Amino acid sequence: MLHLRFASTDPAMNLALEEALFNALEEGQPGWLLLWQNAPSIIVGRHQNTAEEIDCARVEAKGIPVVRRMTGGGAVYHDLGNLNFSFLAFRKQAGRIDFSAWLKPVAQALSGLGAEVAVTGRNDLEIAGRKISGSAQRLQNGRVLHHGTLLVHPDFDAMSAFLHPDQAKYASKGVASVRARVTCLADQLGRAVAVDEVCRLLAEACADGEGALPEGVLAEARRLASEKYQSWDWNFGASPKYTERRSRRFAWGRVEVFYDVAKGRIASARVMGDFFAARDPEEFGEALKGQPRRPEDLLRHLKTLPLGQWFAGCSEAELAAFLAEL
């Protein structure tokens, strides 16, 4: 297995590189240990409802990228205090998810820091019963991707703030994150820990030498980053079916709206409240059917509708912003 530390801190590019390397794996190749970091960002699992996992308003206000990965599991916050590791290998006989085979070498490598690290639960690394790493896997046609994040010295305040959604707002078939008691290497060791130091230990313990990106992989990663990992359709629109509830009291009445969303579009919409209407509110729901749930797209459509006929006395601009979540 060859190791490679990728210099990019762009989460879309880094996840795209993972996929490009994964798709390029062939039998007989040595495989990869990819070490990488993301600038502040949120990475959600393949089967999650993105909006259900994050504080959307805070994330948008701070300009935090939200990117969906191609593996399952829960949402995680990344910053430069995290080190991400990816094992990519061709294992013809791999037929089931096996976390321990990949986590045991990582735990052994971290012992070089003076830490007693245990492989626990389904996919975690812990020190003294507190989580320092979570992992996820993907198997496909003999290819194996095992990746995880190591909490070296992250910003726990930001982690808590951005991964703090309004749980009453969504009802979803997505896989919800399990919030665990977490810690980091720096806190457990009682000293500063450099990410470079952890990289060195992992490379020495888990790889046979340093490699270079295969021809064409970087170009393919750039394509995937642009067309997939930077797209709203993948990061938000690919969420499982969910129902979103929004409510607010305005001077002219209270409005409660429910969106049933599938494949990023409104499958149905229902509105309730004590407002007055000159037209049947069911017509309003019909007018939203099929529209993208992306806030800016929905706002654009709402501005074409006679909202004042369904919601008497409203400020159409204010109501449209509320309905689109802007």
Give Cα 147 distance to the centre of its chain: 14
- Read out DSSP for 19-38? HHHHHH--TT---EEEEE--
Res 172: pLDDT: 57
104 and 227: one domain? yes
298 and 191: one domain? no
Q: Count structural domains, the chain.
A: 2
* H-state helical runs in the chain: 11-24, 50-53, 56-62, 100-110, 156-162, 185-189, 195-206, 217-224, 232, 281-288, 295-302, 307-310, 316-324
208 and 263: one domain? no
Question: In the structure encoding, which two tokens stand for residue 132, read together?
Answer: 């320092």
189 and 108: one domain? yes
pTM here? Answer: 0.81
What CATH number did the domain enclosing 249 receive? 3.30.390.50
Res 57: pLDDT: 82
Point out the residues of the chain with pLDDT beneath 70: 94-95, 164-180, 326
Res 170: pLDDT: 46
Res 153: pLDDT: 95
Res 91: pLDDT: 84
Q: Considering only CA atoms, which of 177, 153, 148 is closest in space to residue 165?
A: 177
116 and 19: one domain? yes
Query: Sign (positive/negative) of CA torsion 204, 74, 143, 9?
Result: negative
176 and 290: one domain? no
Spatial contact of 134 and 124, defined as CB atoms under 8 Å apart: yes
What are 117-138's pLDDT values in tens digits? 999 877 899 998 899 999 999 9
CB-facing half-sphere around the CA of 270: CA atoms within 13 A: 6
Spatial contact of 125 and 118, defined as CB atoms under 8 Å apart: yes
Res 166: pLDDT: 52
Give the H or E element holding residue 124.
Answer: strand 124-127
**Of the residues 206, 237, 268, the one at which a domain ends:** 237
Burial of 167 (0-12, 13-18, 19+ CB in 10 A): exposed
Q: Considering only CA atoms, which of 184, 225, 193 is closest in space to residue 13?
A: 225
Spatial contact of 145 and 99, defined as CB atoms under 8 Å apart: no
- Read out DSSP for 82-112? EEEEEEEEE-TT--S--SHHHHHHHHHHHGG
Range of the domain at 272: 242-324
**Of the residues 222, 237, 252, the one at which a domain ends:** 237
121 and 206: one domain? yes
**Of the residues 184, 218, 237, the one at which a domain ends:** 237
103 and 40: one domain? yes
What CATH number did the domain enclosing 110 receive? 3.30.930.10
207 and 121: one domain? yes
275 and 292: one domain? yes
Res 165: pLDDT: 54
- C-alpha separations of 41 from 63, 67, 159, 226, 269 in Å: 9, 8, 10, 17, 31
105 and 163: one domain? yes
289 and 312: one domain? yes
